[in-house]
Amino acid sequence: MACVTVIDASHKGTTAPTIQGVWKIEAMDVGIGENRRTTVPQAFMLFIGEKYYSAIRDFSQEPRPDWGAGSGGSVASVAGFMADAGTYEYDGSTFVVHHQVAMIPNMMRGGSSMTFGCEMEGNDILILTPQYDKMVIPGMQMAPSPEGKMSYGEMAVRYRFKRLE
C-alpha cells in the first residue's frame, strides 16, 4: 500500500502533513472477507517523534479488572494490553517500527520490527495497514489464519488514527 498525501496548493504558507505527533485510535478494521468488521478498541495511542515512537493499546473486549482483583486477576488485568517503543523509519509510504522495549519479551531480542503501509488524509488522519508478510518478531509467527485470526484474536487490517497534537 502506498502512502498518498494530497496537498492543496491553494493554501500557500501551509506545511505538508507529517506523521509526527500524538495519535488516538478512531477505528480499527479486523478480520478478512465476510468476517471483516470495524471496531473501536478501548484505548490505543501512538506517539511519533522525530526519531522515536511509542504505542500503547488495550484490545481487551471488556474493561480489564484491577491488578490483583480476584482469582487470576493479575493475569486478567494485562490480557489484551500491549505496549512497545523504539525507533522508526518512514519513507512516505511505509512506516517500519524497530522495537527497543516491549511488553512481549520476543520483541526485545533484536531485529524485531513491524511494517505498515501508511496514508494520511489531510494533516489530522493517519491510516496504517499492517503488512504481516514483512513483520519480524523472533520466535513468533505473525501470519494470520485463513479465517483472519491471530493468536491474540482477530487480525487487524487497518488502523485509523486522529491527531491529538
Rounded mean pLDDT, 115-144: 92
d(C-alpha 135, C-alpha 149), whole Å: 16
Query: What residues does each domain of the chain span?
Result: 21-63+72-163
The answer to whether 38 and 156 are in contact (CB under 8 A) is no
Give the model's pLDDT for residue 108: 92
- Answer yes or no: is pLDDT of 4 > 50: no
Give the model's pLDDT for residue 69: 72
Give the model's pLDDT for residue 80: 78
pLDDT tens string 40-85:
988 999 999 999 999 999 887 778 778 777 666 677 777 778 899 9
d(C-alpha 29, C-alpha 36), whole Å: 7
| Top-ranked range on mean pLDDT: pick from 8-22, 54-68, 92-106, 137-151 | 92-106
Q: Which comes out higher in pLDDT, residue 93 or 7?
A: 93
User: Does pTM surpass 0.85?
Assistant: no
CATH (residue range 21-63+72-163):
2.40.128.280
Mean pLDDT value across the chain: 85
Q: Which comes out higher in pLDDT, residue 26 or 149?
A: 26
Q: Which comes out higher in pLDDT, residue 79 or 17?
A: 17
Q: How many CB atoms are closer than 10 A to CB 71?
A: 7
